[in-house]
Every structure is written in C-alpha cells, then in structure tokens.
Amino acid sequence: MTPRARSIRQQLHRPFRGRRGRLRRRVAAAGALVLGGSLLVVGTAAPPAGAASGTFDNTGLITLPAGAPGTTIGNANPYPSSISVTGLTGVITDVNVTLTNIGHTHPDDLDILLVSPSGDSVVLMSDACNGTDFEDFDWTFDDEATGPMPDSPAGTCSSFFYQPSSYDSGSDTWPGSNPGPHGSALSTFDGENPLGTWSLYASDDAAGDSGDIEGGWSLTITTGPSNIDIPASGTTGNASPYPRTVTVSSNDLVTDVDVTFNGITHAHPDDMDILMVGPSGASTILMSDACGSFNVTNYLWEWDDEAPGQMADSGSTNVCGGFVYQPTNIGTGDTWPSPAPASGYGSSLSVHDLGPAGGNWSFYIVDDTGGDAGFLINVPTLQLTTRPRAATKFSAATVNAAEGDNSAVLTITRSAAGSMAGASVTVTSTPGTAGAGDFQAINQVVGFGPGETSKNVPITIVDDAAGEGPETFTVSLSAPTGDSALTAPSSATVTIAASDGGAPAADTTAPETIIGKAPGGLITKRKVKIVFSSSEAGSTFQCKIKSGPWKSCKSPLKLKNLALGKYKVLIRATDAAGNVDPKPAKVKWKVIAQP
C-alpha cells in the first residue's frame, strides 16, 4: 500500500460519518418533494449473521534483534512474525495480544507494531518499561487493562496486562510495514474483517542490549454480528445469508429506487458480485468486477441511476472512494447461483419502475475469487419513491338500457400521476330485479395496456315478448392486478326500461373483441399466449397473423418458435347473428435476443 493510498483510506472515515448525516437530510428533503406519492426508506430486522471468538497463535521463537550473537540493534527475526486468522464470522469488536516468555536486557529499546489484514496498525509498545533487565514475562496488551506500561525511566513492567503503550515522539519506524499514522488503541481494529494475515513487527532501536520472545505471540479476537458475511466461509462463494431479503409492506408502485450499503468492508472489492431482485422478478446488477484491489473498510456506497457515473474498473489505489454510483457491471458472463434468476439481469435500477414496491427485495452476493473476504455491517437500505396504483373505477354508477337496443356500455377508467403500466380487472354481473334471462351475464377479465386509460364493457339486454316494468342488475369490478386499484364507484347499476312485449328485434349490433392477456413491447420469449373473448356469448373468432389471411381461431391462441422481429395479430369476433366486429382487437410485440 502506497503512503498516498494509505492516507486517502484513513481520511475516508471522516466523510463517511458526515455522508450518513447528509444522506438522512437528503431522504427527508426528498420525502417532502415527492408529489402524489411517498418515499419509503426500508431496512429489515432479520437476525444478522452470528458472532464468534477465538485465540490464534504463532509459537515460533522471535529473536530481538536478528543477526549473529552480539548483534544488539535492528529488526527481529522473523520480521514480521505472522498469524493467519480463519474461521471467524462477524466483525471485530475486541482484540488482545499476548507476548509469551518475552525477555530483554533493556526493554525500553523495544518497538512493537501490530498490523491487521486490512493494513491498519497499532503500536503495542515503544520507548516504555525503563532499562531493567527481565526474563520470561508474559505480556498481554488489552484496551481494558488498568493502564499503559510505565514510561522510561519511571519503572519496570512486571505486571502482565497493559494497554498499548507508546512514548515515541514520532521517530520510530518499522521498515516494510505501512508508514502510518499508527493507532494507539486496539479498538483501531473494531469493525474490521478479522480474516487474513496479522503481522507483528518488532525491532530493537538502540545498541547494547538484546532479547527474545521465546514462546511467540497470540491473538485473541472477539467478533460481533455482521448483517452479511462475504462469503459465508473461506474466501470464495456465496454470502451468508444468501439472499439477504428486505421485506417492504406497501401496495404502491415504484417510480424510483436507490440502494445503500452502509458499512461495507472487503479486502478486494473487485471480487464482489451484487445482484438485487425486486418483488416483480426484475433484477439489477449493483456491482460486478469493479473497484479493484484496494481494501475498503466501513464504507458507505449508494447506487442511484441519477449518480454522476459508475464505479471504476480496477486499481490498487482508492478508485471507489466516492459514495454515490450508478449500477456498475464491468465485464460479462457473471451469474448468480439459484435461487437467484439465471439470466435477464438489468443494468439500471429503472427496471423496477412501475413494479410493485411491496414484497421481498432480495440481495444475492457472491465472492467470485479466493484469497479475500469481507462483510456488510448494516442491513441494505432501500429508498423507494412510490405512487398509488392507478385509480380504477366505472365512469358512472348508473346506466340505462332498453330491450333490443344493445348500444349501452359501461366504461372503466383509470388514472395516475405519470405513465401507467399494464393492468387488468375482473368484471362480473349479479342479477337483481332483472333475472338471469333478462340480460347476458358478464364474467370477463378486462386488460389495460401500458398507458391505456379506459375500456368499454358492452351491455346486452335480451329482447323478449313479455311485458315488464323497469328492472335492474349490478355490474361489479374486482381482482385488480398490475397498475390498478379500485376506487368508487367500483359497481354500477344497470336499469332496463319497461317493455310492453312484442317480437324481439333483430340483432344488428356487432360484438366487441376483448383482449384479456397478451404480450406487448419488447420480449425475449420465443412463445406467447393471447387470451381473448367477446362481448356476446356464442361468438366465434378469426385471427390474422402479420399480413396473413383471416383464419378461424380459439382462445387462447398459442404461438411457438417465434423468430426475432416484430409481430402483429388481429382478432375479430362474430356473434350468433353474423355481426362481425368492425374494429378487430390488435396485439403487437417485438421478439429480441436475450441480453
């Protein structure tokens, strides 16, 4: 790690804290500015990954200093002495260091530095303990000890437990380690990933004396819970949990989504592949093969389509030291194991727009290269700007009809702020004073294409020979799907005018062809299904595919093995009296290649 890179990384802790404050203010401001909708900031209370503790040691002899007998100044042997920490989960909450059977003829000469896998460092002792010869002491450095070692020449160090103790004015250095600044307390390591190689750099900085650490040294590390361990164990594979799920309670639709990871740590962030899957099944690659090999510790990253740019590709310096980025997928071919989707990943957060806000938002994280690991301290946070689903209702609560005149319709309308996604609603009729034989029963699903604001439901009244007074029946809306929420009036009363009887009038009213379910826009599927119906019972249908001839067809119409390109299907209904729908229903879509 270069001195400049080290300096940058150390400085990031200050803007990190400030950024969280700015983030809260921005969320509050955004919430005040959302018109016709709302801003949800959502995390989860799901149990985090577990905590652990353990002691790891290197019992090898350390001579102080190294060299032939009689050498009394210089670095220790080995330099550094290393311990590999494996198998712990969670993040560091406490570190203690024990030097076993240490002895020296002038302990004030000892300078000992501990460096973590992340590159952070703490001076355990420097210029302490006077010049009194001692032999085979066990020293434990612990922030919770009663105090530091005494300064030279204030006294000896005959106790066993000390806080880290440095009386150096800044002149001590440890060649080959990071250049500092160095921490003065072991809490410097709190919040870091414990996994990896810890290094003890020891030296004798004055001539005339020597010593050793006969029993080597040990680390006792306690970890607290992280929210996500990356990976679950070792240094490659799926994170734990996989996925981490954030559950949102809302019936609204998304108009914008941003994602925040608060407290992300990884020794090689380029290894992390992060996929988010929304309740609709749409997915976004938040990051993949980005940010290089520079160790990130306790960072805050936010992904936002409106950010100035994407994360950097690679580098050994701090190429991802900012806070807000567009989703970044560098390279191709990354996939996420089941239960994540196998393909169809989006490159922006806008793929979730006009999808449901409510439901499970799942984060699938994979560490795809061995050798490094990390974790996320806090739960992923979603900032969802939403609006209510389109208000869907009858345009009028009453409609009048007459026997033999089948021109009456009920109009269903929907409205929302901004663009609208597809939707459907079920329409059913219920007899009242008008019995089942007085009108054609209605039981159909009415579909709205993206942007469509109204649909007509024809009313068919049976013209019989009986003399009757005014009669009524009810038509109701139910089971809204997609961009649709029922509002009043969601039911309408149909009044059939009084009739004095007589021969039924000839049926001259053409039926309306109704599309229930159909493809639209850009799709990647090579087979489709089109569901359709008629406003009049007993109707037959003809279909026309592209510029081909009209042919008899039935619902559902299934088309398979479609080639890439544009498609248009026309469908028309013919009623029992031979009346043909003059305005065939139209379905258009385009088949494109998988991204």
Closest by CA to 460, choosing from 426, 425, 504, 413, is: 504
Q: Average pLDDT in the 155-164 region? A: 87
Q: Residue 33: which residues within 8 A CB-CB, separation 6 or more?
A: none
Percentage of the chain modeled with pLDDT above 70: 90
Q: How far is CA 584 from the centre of its chain?
A: 44
Please give the pLDDT value at position 538.
86
pLDDT for res 558: 94
Cβ(294)–Cβ(270) under 8 Å? no
Given pLDDT bands bounded at 50, 70 and 90, which one contains residue 580?
very high
pLDDT tens digits for range 189-203: 888 888 889 999 999
- What residues form DSSP beta bridges with 544? 570
Q: How far apart are CA 12 and CA 24, in angstroms?
A: 19
pLDDT digits (tens, 9 = 90+) for 242-292: 999 999 999 999 999 999 999 898 889 999 999 999 999 999 999 999 999
The residue-averaged pLDDT of 76-88 equals: 93
Q: What is the CA radius of gyration of the chain?
A: 36
Mean of the per-residue pLDDT values of the chain: 86
Give the position of tokens 């690991």. 373
Give helix 3-11 / helix 13-33 axis angle, nearest 10°: 40
pLDDT at 22 over 90: no
Q: Report how far apart, in Å, the C-alpha atoms of 29 and of each of 33, 34, 513 are.
A: 6, 9, 48
Q: Is the pLDDT of residue 34 over 50?
A: no
Under the banding of pLDDT at 50, 70 and 90, the label for residue 28 is very low
Q: How many CB atoms sit inside 10 A of residue 31's CB? A: 15
The CATH fold of domain 507-595: Immunoglobulin-like (2.60.40)
Count CB-CB contacts under 10 A for residue 335. 14
Reported confidence tier of residue 207, pLDDT bands at 50, 70, 90: confident
Task: For residues 258 and 381, give the distance between their C-alpha atoms in angstroms, rounded to a whole number.
Answer: 8
pLDDT band at 37 (very low <50, low <70, confident <90, very high): low
Amino acid letter, 408: A
pLDDT in the model for residue 505? 65
Residue 209 scores a pLDDT above 50: yes
Mean per-residue pLDDT, 127-151: 90
CB-CB contact of 377 with 301 (8 Å)? no
State pLDDT tens for residues 210-236.
889 999 999 999 888 888 989 988 889
**CATH number, domain 3-49+227-387:** 2.60.120.260
Write out the CATH class of domain 389-505: mainly beta
Closest CA to 103 of 143, 140, 62, 67: 62
Q: Give the pLDDT confidence score for residue 15 in this predicted structure.
A: 29
Q: Is the per-residue pLDDT at 167 higher than 80?
A: yes
- Quote the pLDDT of residue 172: 87
pLDDT value for 397: 95
pLDDT of residue 179: 84
474, 504, 490, 257: which is closest to 394 by C-alpha?
490
Q: Amino acid identity of 509? A: T
Measured from the Cβ of residue 114, the count of other Cβ atoms closer than 10 Å reads: 28
Closest CA to 106 of 68, 70, 157, 61: 157
Domain ranges of the chain: 3-49+227-387, 53-224, 389-505, 507-595
- May I ask the CATH class of domain 53-224? mainly beta
How do residues 422-476 score in pLDDT, each as one tens digit?
999 999 999 999 998 899 999 999 999 999 999 999 999 988 777 788 999 999 9
- pLDDT value, residue 40: 66
- Strand 74-75, strand 244-248: pairing: unpaired
pLDDT in tens, 368-412: 998 888 889 889 999 999 999 999 999 999 999 988 778 889 999
Alpha-carbon distances of 244 from 360, 361, 381, 585, rounded to whole Å: 10, 8, 11, 44
Secondary structure of 359-402 in the HEC alphabet?
EEEEEEEEECCCCCCEEECCCCEEEEEEECCCEEEECCCEEEEE
What is the pLDDT at residue 20? 31
- Are the C-beta atoms of 126 and 141 separated by less than 8 Å? no
Q: Which of 304, 322, 352 is nearest to 26 (CA)?
A: 304
Identify the pLDDT of residue 32: 29
User: Would you place residue 4 in the very low, low, confident or very high pLDDT band (cuts 50, 70, 90)?
Assistant: very low
What is the structure's pLDDT at 318?
87
Structure tokens at 115: 């460096």
Q: What is the C-alpha separation between 201 and 111, in angstroms, rounded?
A: 8
Mean pLDDT across 573-582: 93
Check: CB of residue 255 under 8 Å from CB of residue 353: yes
Q: What pLDDT digit, counting tens, does each position of 398-408 carry?
A: 999 988 778 88
Helix/strand/coil percent split, the chain, to 5? 10, 45, 50
Q: What is the mean pLDDT of residues 578-590?
A: 94
Amino acid (one-letter) located at 393: K
Q: Cα separation of 146 and 578, whole Å?
A: 100
The confidence score (pLDDT) of residue 45 equals 46
The pLDDT-based confidence of 504 (bands split at 50, 70, 90) is low
Domain 389-505 shares a fold with domain 507-595 = yes
Per-residue confidence (pLDDT) for residue 395, from 0 to 100 = 95
pLDDT at 14 over 90: no
SS3 480: strand
Taking the CA atoms of 262, 265, 269 and 273 in sequence, report the sign of the dihedral they define: negative
Phi and psi (nearest 5°) for 271?
-75, -20
Tens digits of residue pLDDT in 292-345 = 988 888 899 999 999 999 999 988 888 998 899 999 999 888 999 999 999 999
pLDDT recorded at residue 232: 87
Do 533 and 455 form a contact (C-beta atoms < 8 A)?
Answer: no
Token pair belonging to 282: 């749409």
Nearest-angstrom CA–CA distance, 251 and 10: 44
Q: Looking at per-residue confidence, does 315 or 44 come out higher?
A: 315
Residue 293's Cβ-count burial label (10 Å; 0-12, 13-18, 19+) is middle
Number of residues written out for the chain: 595
Per the CB < 8 A criterion, the answer to whether 583 and 590 are in contact is no
Angle at 488 (CA atoms; ends 483, 489), nearest 5 degrees: 110
Is the pLDDT reported for residue 58 higher than 90? yes
pLDDT average, residue stretch 487-499: 93
